[in-house]
Amino acid sequence: MDPRCLWLWGLLTGGALRGGWAQRGWSMYVPRRITGLRGDSTVLPCTFAHPIPDYTRDIQVIWKPDIFQCVVRNSSTDTSSFDNCTTGQGPNGRYRLAGDPRRHNLSLHIAGLHYEDSREYKCRVVLLEDPKWAYENKTGITLTVEARPSILNLTLLPGPLPVWVACTAEGIPRPNISWRGPAGIEVVQLQDTPGPRYQTTQVVSVNQTGTYTCRAENVHGRAERSVPVGSTGLPLLLIVLLPAALLLLAGLLLLVLCCRWKGGRESVGRAQPRVADTCTPCQPAAHANGLPPAQALPQPGLSSAVSPAENADSCTYADLTFPSAGAGRRGPQPAAQSPPAPAEEVTYSELTPYRGPR
């Protein structure tokens, strides 16, 4: 083989192994892979060297895929230009430099990692005095965003014992689910179903009351969540029937109030008859000789008959006394009294004393 070909091959492969295309005096170091946790921050390391030691002009930093760039003057006296490299850029200002380009450090800080941040990143440096003075890492850095386990749902499926309990957990790597119940109670696993977005759902059957705990674990940690089964929680029948019972009770109360209001209005508009229970009308007294007395105007000292218009509940009847035929010789005699007639057969008349034969 031609020695010139061997020399060219060695030059190209040596430059590639250093992390970039072969350029005299240029080098760059980046890790091949890095892992971060969702919600946390991470730093993508990138350092470089260039062949112009006395360079004092501007340095441009670029991170691909087009998420960050800034320019800083390579001067120890001018520090204000470095501020635009430490100001957050991108969505929600999540990107900024963690390194200082003046010290050959282009490391990028990413805050609040998302699942979507999992991809390849490349850093590039340009000495702006000459556009040809640029270097870029060709292999890139692969960022993998993982996640601590979290329990998304813990559901108790209604029904009589045994009941089903479903636990859905999420995490990267996909978490393993295990169960804890009251001492001596066995938990029977029915199914384990992988879901989207690094989720998994496990359904178990339990046949005794108590508190059951779903535990999700992966290399980044553990998460737990508990659910009561049976008497430790509200009975399912009570949960279903309680709203219906309250609604029925409210309807009955409204009906009673409506009837009482309507009955009050009717009693005001129409007088109710009263029934005499202790008052018995008096019959006119009969004459001593059995003859009916003649009608005459009432005399002083005698009780008058009760008018039919009077209320039977408030009437008062007195025994009436009439003088007999020989009143001048023997004095007044008590008049005979008739037994009271039923209330519905009472006949009222004006009474006059008998004065004897003329």
pLDDT, one tens digit per residue, over 132-186 is: 899 998 889 999 999 999 999 999 987 788 889 999 999 999 999 999 888 877 7
DSSP one-letter code for 53? T
Residue type, 251: G
What pLDDT sits at residue 87? 87
Q: Which long-range contacts (CB under 8 A, 24 or more apart) does 217-220 make?
A: 217/149, 217/175, 217/176, 217/178, 218/148, 218/149, 218/171, 218/172, 218/173, 218/174, 218/175, 218/176, 219/173, 220/37, 220/146, 220/147, 220/148, 220/149, 220/171
Closest CA to 39 of 101, 94, 89: 94
Burial environment of residue 48 by CB neighbours within 10 A (0 to 12, 13 to 18, 19 or more)? buried
- Where are the domain boundaries for CATH 2.60.40.10 in the chain? 18-139, 148-232
Identify residue 260 by its one-letter amino acid code.
R
pLDDT of residue 268: 55
Q: Is the CB of residue 335 less than 8 Å from the CB of residue 285?
A: yes
What does each C-alpha distance from 255 to 7, 54, 260 come to in angstroms? 104, 98, 9
- From CA 11, how far away is CA 23, in angstroms rounded? 9
pLDDT of amino acid 230: 77
SS3 for 192?
Answer: strand
3-state secondary structure at position 265: helix
Give the whole-angstrom CA distance, residue 17 versus residue 123: 16
The two tokens of residue 345 are 């057969």
Element spanning 16, H or E: helix 3-17
Q: What is the pLDDT of residue 223?
A: 96
For residue 265, the model assigns a pLDDT of 65
Give the closest residue to 351 by CA, choosing from 327, 317, 328, 326. Answer: 317
Flag residues of the chain having pLDDT under 50. 1-22, 232-233, 275-320, 322, 326-329
Strands (E), the chain: 27-29, 33-37, 42-44, 47-49, 58-64, 68-73, 95-97, 108-110, 119-127, 134-136, 141-157, 163-172, 176-180, 188-194, 199-206, 210-218, 221-229
Q: Give domain 18-139's CATH number out of 2.30.110.10, 3.40.50.880, 2.60.40.10, 3.40.980.10.
A: 2.60.40.10
Do residues 164 and 157 touch, judged by C-beta distance below 8 A? Answer: yes
Cβ(10)–Cβ(22) under 8 Å? no
Query: Taking every pair of C-alpha atoms in the chain, what is the biggest distance, in angstroms?
Result: 186
**pLDDT on residue 135:** 93
Tell which phi-psi region holds residue 285, choosing left (phi > 0), alpha (psi between -120 and 50) or beta.
beta
DSSP, res 290:
S
Q: What is the CATH number of domain 148-232?
A: 2.60.40.10
C-alpha to C-alpha distance for 48 and 137, rounded to whole angstroms: 10
